[in-house]
Amino acid sequence: MNLARRTMNHPALAAVYERAWRPTLFYLASGRTTTSDRRDAVRALRLDGAQRVLDIACGPGNFTRHLSDALTDGGYAIGLDYSEPMLARAVADNAGPRVGYLRGDARVLPFADGTFDAVCCFGALYLIPDPIAATREMIRVLAPGGRIAITTSYRADSPFGAVSRVFGGRIGLRVFDDRTFPELFAASGLVDVEQDVHRLLQYVSATRPA
Ligand SMILES: C[S@@+](CC[C@H](N)C(=O)[O-])C[C@H]1O[C@@H](n2cnc3c(N)ncnc32)[C@H](O)[C@@H]1O
């Protein structure tokens, strides 16, 4: 297990992740606040009703609970992660009437095809050993008419980007170009593919045709 994955499994990180680690590192990487990322996640997934939501690599549930707050009626959000310390924090800090947490591997999802109306993965594809397999799994469990949204690393063409590539490679963080995910989404039959780049991060979303 590389340094980045070991760090994510550490109880000390789980304890500070939501309040300190994520807001600081993601602000430095993208210039965006957690509040903006949460608001735009709800918008990108078009949450407003009784939708079934799957939040892959949910960490301490810092997005899962917020996503569930946008749901009504029988809607619910499931957060899936493989780290026990992260899931323990999710249950302690981000429980709610429409939220559940599950331990699992993003590369082999324990759900039937088309189970969810919205599937997301924020800040994790660069940690997963086979990010393309994990993304294909997300698409597999997405229902017709459903929305998918990811946030991951971006190989910025700048001195800062070059440093991030070298540093990322050393600790086991993958850095993606701006074609991999839009092309994978389009090749998988998804439509309305949108991509926004903010410094070292990319935000990509799409729809599975009804
Ligand atoms: C940086 S946290 C992201 C948390 C949250 N989604 C966010 O955007 O702040 C990355 C999470 O990915 C999880 N993770 C990494 N590889 C995974 C895998 N193969 N399956 C499930 N979770 C994984 C880690 O345990 C960690 O909790």
**pLDDT tens track, the chain, 210 positions:** 677 778 888 999 999 999 999 999 999 999 999 999 999 999 999 999 999 999 999 999 999 999 999 999 999 999 999 999 999 999 999 999 999 999 999 999 999 999 999 999 999 999 999 999 999 999 999 999 999 999 999 997 766 667 766 776 777 789 999 999 999 999 999 999 999 999 999 999 999 999
Q: Model confidence over 36-48: pLDDT tens digits?
A: 999 999 999 999 9
Domain extent, residue 117, equals 3-207
| Residue 154 CB–ligand 1 contact under 6 Å | no
Please state the domain count of the chain. Answer: 1
Closest atom of ligand 1 relative to the 34 alpha carbon: 9
| Residue 124 CB–ligand 1 contact under 6 Å | yes
Q: Model confidence over 141-158: pLDDT tens digits?
A: 999 999 999 999 999 776
85: domain CATH number is 3.40.50.150
Cα distance between the two ends of the chain: 40
Site to substitute for ligand 1 among 53, 128, 132, 171, most atoms within 8 A of C-beta: 128
Asked if residue 47 lies in contact with residue 69, where contact means CB atoms within 8 angstroms, the answer is no
Q: State residue 171's pLDDT score.
A: 74
| Residue 29 CB–ligand 1 contact under 6 Å | no
| Residue 26 CB–ligand 1 contact under 6 Å | no
| Residue 174 CB–ligand 1 contact under 6 Å | no
Distance 10 CA to ligand 1 centre (A): 12
Distance 188 CA to ligand 1 centre (A): 23
| Residue 61 CB–ligand 1 contact under 6 Å | no
